[in-house]
Amino acid sequence: MKLVVFISGRGSNLAALLKNQAQNGYEVAHVISNKASALGLEIAQEHGVNNSHIVWTDRNQGEQHATEILNQVKPDLIVLAGFMKVLSAEFVAQFENKIINIHPSLLPLYPGLNTHQRAINDGQTTHGASVHLVDDQLDHGLVLSQCHIAIEPSDTAESLAKKLISKEHKLLTETVKMIAQGVLTWHNGLEYSNEPLKQAMVIDSPDM
């Protein structure tokens, strides 16, 4: 299965996807960043993956350029891995049901920024991350999979971000692997191995 990955920064989720691609049955064919300085672009280069910086100050222009690349590469799946722009309804419609995003909260809780601090402020004892289908709203769409972490009284936004990121890597790679294997599908509602799923797949590490 061919992927195009969109990033805006550090690219640790991209690195996790690249590390596991051979055994997981997918290939990152192209990386697109809206930031020229994104570390993730260097990661793509180190792995010999085609990559493009797209100027995204104007959404229409950004999306037009991205569409040209996507129409050339023809990916099976588009993965937003730390891509901090909201896509238009027109763009999403062109690639309907083919765009997923990873977000550091248990959606529908806390779309947007500062998810860790907001979870602490609300007195939550559990936090996590979600992989979801993308629509034209911020961090919104059918949730495919989630992972969880406990929030301890001593936790800060920084400690939660640190605890969560390695679990995000597993969540994203395992989810993309299941999609590549054709076991996780959403065309007739969310299904795993042809059985309907009432809620998102839970992909927790054993230490949870």
By annotation, the residues acting in catalysis are 103
Strand partners, 32: 6, 52
Pick the closer one to ligand GAR by CB: 8 or 63: 8
Torsions phi, psi for 127 (to 5 deg) = -140, 180
Pick the closer one to ligand GAR by CB: 62 or 104: 104
Please report, as residue ranges, which positions from 123 to 142 form the binding site for ligand GAR (by CB under 6 A): 129, 139
Query: Using the rule CB under 6 A, which residue among 3, 43, 81, 171 binds ligand GAR?
Result: 81
Query: Using the rule CB under 6 A, which residue among 3, 4, 6, 13 binds ligand GAR?
Result: 13
- Interatomic CA distance for residues 16 and 197, integer angstroms: 26
Query: Using the rule CB under 6 A, which residue among 3, 5, 12, 155 binds ligand GAR?
Result: 12
- Interatomic CA distance for residues 165 and 13, integer angstroms: 8
Please report, as residue ranges, which positions from 136 to 195 form the binding site for ligand GAR (by CB under 6 A): 139, 168
Helix, strand, or coil here: 115?
helix
Residue closest to ligand GAR, measured at CB: 82
DSSP 15-60: HHHHHTHHHHT-EEEEEEES-TT-HHHHHHHHTT-EEEE---SSHH
* Site of interaction with ligand GAR (CB under 6 A): 7, 9-13, 40, 81-82, 102-104, 129, 139, 168
